[in-house]
Structure 1
Amino acid sequence: MGQFKPGESGNKAGRPRGSKDRRTELRALLQPHARKLIKKAVDLALDGDTAALKLCIDRICSPLKPQAEPIAATIPATGTLAEQGAAIFQAAATGTIGPDEAAALMTILAGQARIQEIAELQRELDEIKRLLGGGKP
């Protein structure tokens, strides 16, 4: 099926087997000086160098990921999907919920629409099979 035999490279001109990645080589060059470089970066940061400060802080604290809060607004979970979408839009338009919350709710609603669509297609397929005599009653 494939063009290449097992164990054969698809890129003959690619990096030779066993060769080191350039980043690995650079890390090896820096490694003997690591303590001095880190101390220098910390000293620069403490002396007010904002780039060094950002570097140090980024290494100490990983960036925070946004945490979604529960949505307190009452968006009706009943009615058609179109009605629910209109309610979400209205809540966003009036400022009851923020744009990020509205987008998250619309994504959930779109997922629900896909689920309903698949369920309806399955029901129709089952009905066609039943009518043709090949499916369950």
Structure 2
Amino acid sequence: MTDKKPGFQPGQSGNPAGRPKGARSKAMQALDAILDGEAEAITRKVIELAKEGDTQALRMCLDRLVPPLKDRPVTFELPPIETTADLTRETNAMLQAVAAGELTPSEAADIGKTVDAHVRAIEAVDLHQRLLRIEEQTAR
């Protein structure tokens, strides 16, 4: 038995004439109407509260001034990976960088995903080359 509902195809919207991108809900339109012309006064009040030590207001201001970092460039020595045999040198370099505090564990995990994609590309090229050699040998 399938979970599919009749009339719906995979990847096809159930409401193709739905809300257009950028359209605001009625609740957001109402909020806009309430705040219309008050944004500057509200911002000034939040700044005043922050200056007086209100931690929530302070956090709001700091989040706008210094947003949390989502990503940053990372520089560390990474040995070249030309074959899958080179992978252990690379993982060792990443572990050493984490141990030395040059990389955070999450940065190493992100780099590991990129390395994994690179290794899969190496494997695909290697497999393709092997198949070509086999085809050449059987054609003779």
Using structure 2 for the length normalisation, give the TM-score: 0.60
- Aligned partner of 2:55 in structure 1 is 50
The runs of at least 4 aligned residues of structure 1 exceeding 6 Å deviation read none
| Structure 1 portions without partners, runs of 5+ | none
1:41 aligned to which of 46, 61, 69: 46
Describe the shift of the 1:20–1:108 C-alpha distance in structure 2 as closer, same or farther (beyond 3 A): closer
Partner Cα separation in structure 2 for residue 94 and residue 60 of structure 1:
32
Q: Does 1:110 align with 2:113?
A: no
What value does the CA root-mean-square deviation take over the aligned residues? 3.7
Which residue identity does 1:77 align to in structure 2? P
The superposition leaves residues 18-52 of structure 1 with CA deviations (integer Å, 9 ceiling, x where unpaired) of x8512232122112222221121111111111111
Are 1:62 and 2:45 counterparts? no
Give the CA deviation at 1:70.
1.4
Does the 8 A contact of 2:49 with 2:57 survive in 1?
yes
State percent identity of aligned pairs.
28
Q: How many residue pairs end up in the alignment?
A: 122
Aligned-residue offset at 1:85: 4.4
Instruction: Select the structure with the greater relative contact order (CA < 8 A; seq sep ≥ 6).
Output: 2
Decide whether the 8 Å contact of 1:45 with 1:53 is kept in 2.
Answer: yes
Identify the match of residue 34 of structure 2 among 26, 29, 36.
Answer: 29
Distance change >3 Å, CA 102–CA 131, structure 1 → 2? same
CA distance in 2, matches of 1:89, 1:64: 21
